[in-house]
Structure 1
Amino acid sequence: MIRRKIRELIENKINELFGSISDLIFEVEKPKREIYGDYATNVALVLKNRLNKSPLEIAQKLAQEFEKETKIFSKIEVVKPGFINFWISQNYYIENLKKILEKKEEYGKIDLGHGKKVLIEFVSANPTGPLHIGHGRGAAYGDSLARILDFTGYNVTKEYYINNKGTQMIILGASVYLRAKELSGEKIEFPENYYKGAYIYDIAKEALKLYPDLLSMEEEKAIELCKELAIKIILEDIKNDLERFRVIYDNWYSETGLYEKNKVEEVINYLKEKGLIYEKEGAIWFKSSLFGDEKDRVIIRSNKEYTYFAGDIAYHYEKFKERGFDLCINIWGADHHGYVKRLKAALKAFDIDPEKLQIILIQMVNLIEGGEIKSMSTRQGEFVELKELLNEVGADATRFIFLSRSADSPLDFDIDLAKKQSQENPVYYVQYAHARICSIFEKAKENGWDEFNWGRANWEFLSNKEELDLLKKLDEFQDVVESASSLYAPYKLTYYLLELAKEFHEYYSKYRVLSEDKELTLARLGLCMGCKIVLKNALNLLGVSAPKKM
């Protein structure tokens, strides 16, 4: 929070001293060495050419103004060639601790979104099989991002787009049908590109039970029945897995619904009216190359079947033009990178700002067990299901580790590490800090502390370097939340949590919280409570629990 406050002060003082300056980009950063203060800014260097003055002169004028802010700064220093270094007063950090103790679960909230309507569409796996660990990473990312955006003032809707139309669905139905024939004793030749997982046998058994005359039906009808049953069973399985993973959607949006409501046809007619559709080789093409795509794209094949792209155009038109979202965020697997330009081209064709669609590509997950990487192939049925991972290590460890890297970085998920109950396991290390604080308060109650009146606390007792470091780290929380929200980067919170937990564990190992000195004890309990509140708030934004005991 102090970083934002310093930035606002700088902007106000510049306005007062030098007048309004537009498009001013400057840094407020933590110096690498403590001798240069708590924060530093390069604003005077940035203003050099704008004001035609030396950076030192600008910095000194600003510093004189900042020195008046005694409630915030204990010391200000100007160093060549024009940096301004700030030392934050302990009183400021104490006031922030009081704010944490007062606001509790509301602490850290900041209104960045001002109620802007945001749709986050994530996972959206074709209902052709169970969710695998790659889907799990996307699920953790999308759900955590939704929590963060909601916490920062956006009106968020979480949506799953069900791709239940097209060739893959037909192949799914045919895969079940062939397995049903096989289960009935018929020798079959199973095509290479059909779905081969064990779950297909399970669905085939259910199909034979529900439809005793399945194999005597006309094949096309039998495959259609198998397809519909497979979609229903797989979707139910997907929903159950996601609920176990603490991912609850506001909407499940069916692709077939777009066609039933004639949305796809309406959109194509709209593009035709604008002269953006043409026919070639029996297919219908969209002139996406006019809007930045590498080439034009087929939206209706020569066999009169709509492409996935046709449905996606209608879906996104409907998101913006009919449902009125201000921002749409799609979280896709990295293998969809070639799809981005064509979708943004479609938005341009509708006069929708393509920047209103943000696409986050999630890199792959390597699952490691016993030092070996497990292979994954959806068609061959060799993938690791999300439910297997949840059974093995639980939702907390799975979510935390999935969120420990940025989306554009591949992730190694070490199962053996995730199961360890030691400081090597990052989620255990963070959760243990929260549980440890809970145990401190349990022990305090046993020692006669039946109430904690923070208004009576003498905060001057928090004078050790480790206590000041903890106070500083607590103040950083809102800055981290702001960064995680603005950059769509939940991993900022996992890094922060590890830092906060580390500082707390080190403090706890060095100092006694509970002692005969009641004033000292109350102040230290207040600091611990501040840590507990922030740990819990940050864990909640990741969808990870904050246990009281471990």
Structure 2
Amino acid sequence: MYIREKIEEQIKEIMANALNKSVEEGVLSIETMPDLFLEMPREKEHGEYSTNVAMQLPRQTKKSPRFIAETLVGYMETEGSYIDAIEIAGPGFINFKLKKTWQYSALKDIAVLKENYGRSDKNKGKTFNMEFISANPTGPMHMGNARGGAIGDILAAVAGWTGYEVTREFYINDAGNQIVKFGDSLDVRYRQLLGETVDFPKDGYQGDDITEHMKDFIGLKGDQYLTLESDARKKILVEYALEKNLTQIKKDLETYGIYYDVWFSEQSLYDSGAIESTLELLKKGGYAFEEDGAVWFKATSFGSDKDDVLIRANGIPTYFMADIAYHMDKFLNRKFDRCINVWGADHHGHVARLKGALTAVGVNAGQFDVVIMQLVRLLRNGEVARMSKRQGKAIALTDLIDEVGVDATRFFFNLRSPDSHFDFDLDLAIEESSDNPVFYVQYAHARICSIIRQMEEEVDKTVPLDYTRLTEKEEFHLLETLSLFPNEILIAEERLDPSRITRYTIELASAFHSFYNACHVRIEDPILMKARVALIEGTQQVIQNSLGILGVSAPERM
């Protein structure tokens, strides 16, 4: 248990004891004990923790919040605790100020746990499925996938740090209308390249990659499939191009630092009979009905304003039908304890109806969540950037990585919470200055490594390591920031917000730079020097750990 967990547990126990004693002695009349919540005040002068428990009790006690707060504080026994002082603020907030010595415990934990500092067993024994990107394999990876890739991969890492057994999964949309359109596009381009005069589909895929695939295919196979029946030829062309595309997608994602455990084929749901069995389950439960030749899901039974088509009148299942079968497979067949998807903002309306359908087939929809991701604008010189070398209107993921590098790409895409719009400044991402947040953090790490190398022979190993010699406000601020890391991981996982780790890493780098500017490490006092070296070694380790979660390198020299 980390120091902040110990402190929070201790304060809550003190609060609970005070509540119980006030009730036992008849000062307060409480029928239902309130939940005890602690928060960290924004203003440091208010202490390290605060509670609004007194605000929750006026209705029960028939007393004012201020009276309740004063009563509870009077019953709080803090001897031998981390608490230095308790103050009441405003109408009844109770603020807890801690003894300074608690902050040294974080440094001790880091020294012992090293690369594991920040990990917890909160979700040990549970399984976690992180499905993200899941782009149509009908073309190369593009900018629309880049942010989702960073968000999903970092959320998966965060989940792993909280104890989950994590599976990263890519859902391959290799069935349905988009594959039909893909096959039509390949077929026409194949025939055109072999001399036939045939019009290209109006809604077909017109990227250069379609032409290149068919040129390569003709180079390998010639015109031997030209006389083949159309559907059979399209099937062959699609299989060839999909394999090429998936190989390139995997390569691009690995360049981006993303490695999947499972590549799940949508087509496998059809081949295995999962679509049919899921449909039968919905019918059996009374949640599917036929109308106008189509089969519908009773979405209105789960709060939707309209029902949704599962099987079209032409007999072809909708994407929604496949999605139900796919998520049912995750929960009922593969038995994941928690499943998270990263979707674009245009899928927002799909969340509630899918949760309703999962409930209909017996899944606890509370175990399923969707991170809705807003779009990002790429800017260069203050204007929207046009970067693509190959994809026409689409900006390729590889173009972005070529431009600013993997580190900046992943870091910048997580500067804001997933549901926030933001502008990705390409000029700033490659700027070597403190204005560039990823450079700022990496430079802090490299600077610490440099100091440690230079002072390796100067630290007197015979003197004791005394953390209590760290007494400057910048030292305490850095210690306090280091202590926050385990909490930030837990909160990021609970709120599905990986940007908390990015922001924390920037705050830690800032705390280090402030310390470095105010406190010399190379000094004549050998005991204080040793303590300060230990402090920056702990900082170096936590920056490395946090950058590791982000999938960003921690350079030792810059």
Structure 1 length as normaliser, TM-score? 0.93
- Checking the alignment, whether the CA contact within 8 Å between 1:369 and 1:415 is kept in structure 2 is yes
Shift of residue 191 of structure 1? 2.8
- Checking the alignment, whether the CA contact within 8 Å between 1:132 and 1:385 is kept in structure 2 is yes
Residues 1:209 and 1:441: Cα distance change in structure 2 (over 3 Å): same
Alignment of 1:168-187 (within 5 A): 168-187=178-197
Task: Give the one of 447, 457, 465 matched to 1:457.
Answer: 465
- Checking the alignment, whether the CA contact within 8 Å between 1:141 and 1:490 is kept in structure 2 is yes
Supply the distance in 1 between the matched residues of 2:391 and 2:489 (Cα, whole angstroms): 41
Task: Give the one of 215, 221, 237 matched to 1:226.
Answer: 237
Residues 1:66 and 1:386: Cα distance change in structure 2 (over 3 Å): farther
Task: Give the one of 269, 282, 287 matched to 1:258.
Answer: 269
Residue 425 (str. 1) matches residue 433 (str. 2): no
Q: Which residue of 1 aligns with 2:417?
A: 406
Q: Which residue of 2 aligns with 1:190?
A: 200
Shift of residue 173 of structure 1? 1.9
Residues 1:530 and 1:181: Cα distance change in structure 2 (over 3 Å): same
Residue 73 (str. 1) matches residue 83 (str. 2): yes
Residue 129 (str. 1) matches residue 139 (str. 2): yes
Shift of residue 146 of structure 1? 0.9
- Checking the alignment, whether the CA contact within 8 Å between 1:286 and 1:297 is kept in structure 2 is yes
**C-alpha RMSD of the superposition:** 2.4
Q: Which residue of 2 aligns with 1:47?
A: 57
Residues 1:287 and 1:84: Cα distance change in structure 2 (over 3 Å): closer
Q: Helix, strand or coil: the match of 1:127?
A: coil
Shift of residue 250 of structure 1? 1.3
Shift of residue 417 of structure 1? 0.9
Mean alpha-carbon deviation: is it higher for 526-535 or for 297-306?
297-306
Shift of residue 52 of structure 1? 4.1
Residue 330 (str. 1) matches residue 330 (str. 2): no
Task: Give the one of 221, 238, 245 matched to 1:211.
Answer: 221
Supply the distance in 2 between the matched residues of 1:6 and 1:529 (Cα, whole angstroms): 24
Shift of residue 105 of structure 1? 1.4
Task: Give the one of 490, 501, 520 matched to 2:498.
Answer: 490
- Checking the alignment, whether the CA contact within 8 Å between 1:196 and 1:381 is kept in structure 2 is no
Q: Which residue of 2 aligns with 1:384?
A: 395
Residues 1:23 and 1:181: Cα distance change in structure 2 (over 3 Å): farther
- Checking the alignment, whether the CA contact within 8 Å between 1:480 and 1:492 is kept in structure 2 is yes
Residues 1:180 and 1:512: Cα distance change in structure 2 (over 3 Å): same
Residues 1:81 and 1:70: Cα distance change in structure 2 (over 3 Å): farther
Residue 501 (str. 1) matches residue 509 (str. 2): yes
Q: Which residue of 2 aligns with 1:361?
A: 372
Q: Helix, strand or coil: the match of 1:118?
A: strand
Task: Give the one of 518, 531, 535 matched to 2:539.
Answer: 531
Q: Helix, strand or coil: the match of 1:29?
A: coil
- Checking the alignment, whether the CA contact within 8 Å between 2:474 and 2:518 is kept in structure 1 is no
Shift of residue 203 of structure 1? 0.9
Alignment of 1:252-331 (within 5 A): 252-331=263-342
Residue 480 (str. 1) matches residue 477 (str. 2): no
Q: Which residue of 2 aligns with 1:9?
A: 10
- Checking the alignment, whether the CA contact within 8 Å between 1:277 and 1:286 is kept in structure 2 is yes
Supply the distance in 2 between the matched residues of 1:522 and 1:192 (Cα, whole angstroms): 71
Deviations 1:58-93 (A, max 9, x none): 434544565625451233223343222222222110
Shift of residue 315 of structure 1? 1.0
Q: Helix, strand or coil: the match of 1:85?
A: strand
Mean alpha-carbon deviation: is it higher for 343-352 or for 284-293?
284-293
Residue 339 (str. 1) matches residue 350 (str. 2): yes
Supply the distance in 2 between the matched residues of 1:391 and 1:69 (Cα, whole angstroms): 59
Residue 89 (str. 1) matches residue 90 (str. 2): no
- Checking the alignment, whether the CA contact within 8 Å between 1:368 and 1:413 is kept in structure 2 is yes
Residues 1:330 and 1:22: Cα distance change in structure 2 (over 3 Å): farther
Aligned partner letter, 1:347: L
Task: Give the one of 93, 105, 120 matched to 1:110.
Answer: 120
Q: Helix, strand or coil: the match of 1:12?
A: helix
Supply the distance in 1 between the matched residues of 2:39 and 2:442 (Cα, whole angstroms): 29
Shift of residue 241 of structure 1? 1.1
Aligned partner letter, 2:237: C
Residues 1:376 and 1:316: Cα distance change in structure 2 (over 3 Å): farther
Q: Helix, strand or coil: the match of 1:384?
A: coil
Residues 1:462 and 1:290: Cα distance change in structure 2 (over 3 Å): same
Shift of residue 313 of structure 1? 1.3
Shift of residue 162 of structure 1? 0.8
Q: Which runs of 5+ in 1 are unaligned?
A: none
Shift of residue 212 of structure 1? 0.6
Shift of residue 4 of structure 1? 4.3
Aligned partner letter, 2:187: Y
Deviations 1:266-286 (A, max 9, x none): 111222223333222222222
- Checking the alignment, whether the CA contact within 8 Å between 1:67 and 1:76 is kept in structure 2 is no
Deviations 1:419-448 (A, max 9, x none): 111111111111111111111111012x44
Q: What is the aligned-residue identity percentage?
A: 42
Q: Which runs of 5+ in 2 are unaligned?
A: 21-29
- Checking the alignment, whether the CA contact within 8 Å between 1:6 and 1:28 is kept in structure 2 is no
Deviations 1:128-173 (A, max 9, x none): 1111122111111111111111111222211111110011112112
Aligned partner letter, 2:529: T
Shift of residue 47 of structure 1? 3.1
Supply the distance in 1 between the matched residues of 2:311 and 2:387 (Cα, whole angstroms): 32
